[in-house]
Amino acid sequence: MGNFSPILKQIKGGRKPDGMCLVVGSCAHGFKENSSSDVIYSSSSVTKVADANVQLFWEAFPAGSGPLDRTTYMFTYTEPQSTSPSLEDLLEEYWKLMPKYQGVSLDELEILRVVYGIFPTYRNSPLQAAFDRVLQFGDASGIQSPVSFGGFGSLTRHLGRLSNGIYEAIDGDLLDSDSLSKLNPYMPNLSASWLFQRAMSAKQKLDVSPSFTNELLHVNFSCMQRLGDPVLRPFLQDVIQFGPLAKTLGLVMLNKPQIIPSIFRQRTYVDTMADTLPYPNSLKKMFQRKG
């Protein structure tokens, strides 16, 4: 049941999420051009959906069910508030924008299934065990990054560590909540991911250009591409590391210093420092662990 399990609701005590990712999409049959994929694709600047400013992103890839089958997602990062668009609002926008994004007509497609979801994220993550003999994992553990929002990939990366840890906990009868909490330790690189998540979220009162997010992503990916695979790959895998992060930020400041003031207008200085310096230790030590 992930984020909406009854046990998780007890642990969180109704605490409001710090951010949300809203996702809608479909898998459809009839894509004649079906050999490419997108991870984070933006086809527009900040736009209005219902009464909210949103920055829309796309993901698309061939489906395994057939050569003409393709999955497309549209998603946005937002703060949990009453003015945020509903999934129904986003789905209406998806049907209007997806054909242009993929260069097809809806009349040419057979919709196989429609997908949608809400992914809440919390700064205080991963979630520590609160009860004896109960351990959260996957989405429920909060171990996923606020950028990638889904817990499956993160769970896969941590599966070996968690499997060994659970075996040792059972073998040593270390099933109290304090012992189990050590299996989901605090990960500073998850906090650093908030820097990217917030930068990719549209503020409701815009004090930067509507194209700011696209400009920021363009300069970031351009710099990472110049720095090569050792820098680009960890970001695409949503594994924030000190070395690649420092190199990218340094090159961004050298190549487009004029974007820095907009970053601070998009986010408060306090928030930025909280995301990049959650510990008073050195940055390098902070990022030694991979999320």
Tell me the per-residue pLDDT of 108-148, one tens digit each, with 9 for 90 and over: 999 999 999 988 888 777 888 899 999 887 777 777 665 66
Strand intervals (E) in the chain: 19-29, 38-41, 47-49, 52-54, 57-62, 69-78, 110-121
Is 0.85 topped by the overall pTM? no
**Angstrom distance (rounded) from CA 74 to CA 116:** 9
Question: Which of 223, 249, 245 minimizes the C-alpha distance to 235?
Answer: 245
Q: Is residue 122 within a helix (H) or strand (E), and if so which, with residue range? A: none
Write down the pLDDT at residue 267: 56
Region of 173 on the Ramachandran plot (φ > 0 left; ψ -120 to 50 alpha; else beta): left
Residue 107 pLDDT more than 90?
yes
- Rounded to whole angstroms, how far apart are CA atoms 263 and 54? 17
Mean pLDDT, the chain, rounded, equals 81
Output the pLDDT for position 66.
94
DSSP H or E stretch at residue 32: none
Most confident of 28-37, 132-141, 147-156, 270-279: 28-37
pLDDT recorded at residue 133:
94
pLDDT number for residue 127: 83
What pLDDT, on a 0 to 100 scale, did the predictor assign at position 271? 52
Hey, what amino acid is at 209?
S
